[in-house]
């Protein structure tokens, strides 16, 4: 990355930070582009040079988040069986626990759905690089739907978990999830 690109990235980051700061005090809908630019100490022109609109800033922010998440996931030592399930839960829960302030802000502003859209688009192709936390076999279509189910399930747990004012610790959620998974399996098998 050369100096010119660094300048552009820096501006984008400043605008992002400005929007996040404003969102802590004001409703997303009511924040104007002028306000963001002023807070970032940049001109409105620079905003429109960096982003198409307010939503694009959120997109950029979410892109960064997911790249960070998948980086952590890729560093995971290859594992199998139950250990893999636990490791995947650990990474998932701890990552979002670290980012909880930002996520809670997004949830409160009704932007979690927006993040989810980006997650789904980026995650499905990327997940082909990994084995699923539980073993999946079958036709590509079958695998795809099982993936979609898991992905949607995890994301929604994240929504409920961090949507609370005082969310439980990652450890508590982990135990909860393992128990729930086991129960789900039991109930499906005994039916």
Written as six digits, the tokens of 66 are 């997911």
**Cα–Cα dist 68/74, whole Å:** 10
Please state, as a whole number, how many other Cβ atoms lie within 10 Å of the Cβ of residue 156: 12
Written as six digits, the tokens of 44 are 């409105």
Beta carbon of residue 1, minimum distance to a second copy (angstroms, whole number): 30
Selection from DNA, a second copy, none that 159 binds (CB < 5 to 8 A by kind) is: a second copy
Selection from DNA, a second copy, none that 88 binds (CB < 5 to 8 A by kind) is: none
7 binds a second copy (CB under 8 A): no
153 binds a second copy (CB under 8 A): yes
54 binds DNA (CB under 7 A): yes
Written as six digits, the tokens of 131 are 């084995």
DSSP-H helix ranges across the chain = 3-25, 33-39, 44-50, 54-74, 81-98, 100-108, 112-127, 140-162, 170-190
Among residues 78, 81, 125, 140, the one that binds a second copy under rule CB under 8 A: 81
Query: What does the per-residue mask of binding to DNA show for 23-42, with x meaning CB under 7 A?
Result: ---------xxx------xx
Torsion-angle region of 110 (φ positive above 0: left; ψ -120 to 50: alpha; else: beta)? left
Q: Please, are residues 157 and 179 in contact by the beta-carbon 8 Å criterion?
A: no
User: Toward a second copy, which CB reaches closer, 17 or 108?
Assistant: 108
Residues that bind a second copy (CB under 8 A): 81-82, 85, 110, 112-114, 116-117, 120, 124, 134-138, 141-142, 144-146, 148-157, 159-161, 168, 173, 176-177, 179-189, 191
């Amino acid at each position: 990355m050369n100096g010119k690109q660094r300048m552009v990235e820096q501006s984008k980051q400043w605008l992002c930070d400005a929007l996040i700061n404003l969102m802590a005090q004001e409703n997303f809908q009511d924040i104007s582009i002028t306000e963001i630019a002023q807070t970032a100490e940049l001109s409105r022109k620079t905003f429109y040079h960096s982003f198409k609109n307010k939503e694009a800033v959120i997109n950029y922010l979410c892109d960064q988040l997911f790249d960070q998440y998948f980086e952590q996931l890729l560093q995971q030592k290859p594992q199998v069986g139950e250990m893999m399930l636990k490791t995947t839960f650990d990474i998932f829960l701890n990552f979002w626990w670290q980012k909880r302030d930002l996520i809670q802000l997004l949830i409160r502003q009704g932007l979690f759905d927006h993040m989810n859209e980006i997650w789904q688009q980026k995650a499905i192709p990327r997940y082909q690089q990994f084995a699923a936390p539980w073993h999946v076999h079958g036709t590509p279509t079958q695998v795809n739907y099982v993936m979609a189910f898991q992905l949607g399930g995890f994301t929604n747990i994240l929504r409920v978990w961090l949507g609370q004012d005082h969310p439980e610790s990652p450890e508590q959620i982990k135990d909860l999830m393992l128990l729930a998974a086991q129960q789900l399996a039991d109930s499906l098998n005994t039916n």
